[in-house]
Amino acid sequence: MYKIRILSLGKTKEAWLQTALNEYLKRLKATVTIEFVLTKTNHQLEDLAMKEKGFICLDPQGQSLNSQEFSDFLLQKLEERDSRLTFVIGGAEGLSNNLKREQTLISLSSMTFTHQLTRLILVEQIYRAFEISKGSHYHK
């Protein structure tokens, strides 16, 4: 069983977002548990991230991967890190350089999204990553 934590800024829990996320969490539950940790400030987010042994930053400056590459990346990182992985989604100002140093940076898009949408895209890509690795028809 894999465990993925997603640290993100986020004051609100929109009902539509919860419904959409739950759909993917339900489909993933036999394979991976996803835990969301929402913080009120960037400062809190960075404090929490610093306590992690290592994490993946979602950052506009990060490497742009397609879904197949993200699938390979995700499975490889989970392998390397004992089936546990943490993603950190920065706020609109991005994460501090201090925090990003020595971490892996990936980018979902060159566009800026709301943190709500970013969470949903990330979870959908995680689901897609496992479907790709299983060779299912979801991504076709």
Q: Using CB under 8 A as the criterion, which residues of the chain lie in contact with a second copy when the complex forms?
A: 14-17, 19-20, 23, 60, 64-67, 70, 92-93, 108-114, 117, 120-121, 124-125, 128, 139-140
For residue 82, give the DSSP letter. Answer: T
- Least Å distance, CB 140 to a second copy, is 5
Nearer Cβ to a second copy, position 75 or 117? 117
Nearer Cβ to a second copy, position 64 or 76? 64
Nearer Cβ to a second copy, position 15 or 30? 15
Alpha helices (runs of H) in the chain, residue ranges in sequence order: 15-28, 42-50, 67-80, 97-100, 115-134
- Least Å distance, CB 101 to a second copy, is 23
- Least Å distance, CB 40 to a second copy, is 17
Dmax of the chain from CA atoms?
Answer: 41
| φ, ψ at 116 (rounded to 5°) | -60, -50
CA distance 105 to 88: 10
- Least Å distance, CB 53 to a second copy, is 26
Interior angle at CA 55, CA 54 and CA 56, nearest 5? 145
